[in-house]
């Protein structure tokens, strides 16, 4: 059992008989007789639906410790993503909705850590920021009322992001996976 005030992003919990992954948790301490409140965003591990929930600090939830296995991503057929254990060649399928935003950044043959809860694959351990190559860009456009100039870019994986005007096709950039937003240019290692 886990106190609601101890919830952290990335944890797997069972609440009201359903498995969830905590995607955001923000604790607001109380004052006087008012107890603290934990605001949490939970993603249902079965359906992928996201829900907001406010917990009293003294409420408890079941903390689930997921088992992790390193698997190889094979392919995606639209609804399902297929992974293979590199030694036993056993295949595992996970609904794309369970994986969430990282599904757009998976590449064939990529090794990823897959989480299992109670023998069922529930999701991936994926970095928050990834490096992706820019496939094409549009001309820059000014945002209304702002000084910033951004342009649309399509990445090699098909994801569209807004990038600064100095980014050109063929460059590697760093992108935040959950929001599909530009972070910075990828660092290029210099040859000696």
**Residue 40's beta-bridge partner residues?**
25, 53
From first to last of its 192 residues, what are the pLDDT tens digits of the chain?
Answer: 888 778 888 788 888 888 888 888 888 877 766 677 888 888 887 777 888 988 887 788 888 888 889 999 999 888 899 999 989 999 998 888 778 788 888 888 889 998 888 778 877 888 888 899 999 988 876 656 566 788 889 999 888 999 988 888 999 999 998 888 898 888 876 555
Nearest to 82 by CA among 97, 94, 99, 100: 94
Bridge-based pairing of strands 120-125 and 111-117 is antiparallel
Q: What is the 3-state secondary structure (H, E, C) of 121-141?
A: EEEEECCCEEEEEEEEECCCE
Cβ atoms of 161 and 155 within 8 Å: the answer is: yes
pTM of this prediction exceeds 0.85: no
Cβ atoms of 116 and 45 within 8 Å: the answer is: no
Going along the chain from its start, the domains and CATH numbers come out as: 2-64 (2.30.30.30), 67-125 (2.40.50.140), 129-185 (2.40.50.140)
């Amino acid at each position: 059992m886990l106190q609601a005030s101890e919830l952290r992003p990335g944890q797997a919990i069972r609440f009201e008989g359903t498995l969830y992954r905590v995607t955001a948790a923000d604790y607001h301490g109380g004052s006087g007789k008012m107890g603290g409140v934990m605001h949490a965003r939970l993603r249902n591990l079965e359906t992928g639906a996201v829900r907001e929930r406010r917990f009293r600090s003294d409420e408890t939830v079941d903390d689930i410790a997921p088992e992790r296995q390193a698997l190889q991503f094979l392919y995606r057929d639209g609804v399902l993503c297929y992974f293979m254990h590199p030694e036993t060649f056993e295949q595992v399928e996970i609904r794309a909705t369970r994986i969430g935003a990282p599904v757009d950044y998976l590449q064939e043959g990529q090794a990823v850590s897959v989480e299992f809860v109670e023998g069922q694959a529930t999701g991936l351990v994926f970095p928050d920021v990834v490096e992706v190559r820019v496939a094409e860009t549009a001309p820059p456009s000014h945002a209304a009322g702002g000084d910033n100039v951004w342009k649309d870019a399509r990445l090699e994986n098909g994801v569209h992001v807004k990038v600064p005007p100095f980014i050109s096709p063929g460059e590697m950039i760093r992108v935040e996976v959950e929001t599909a937003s530009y972070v910075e240019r990828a660092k290029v290692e210099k040859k000696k």
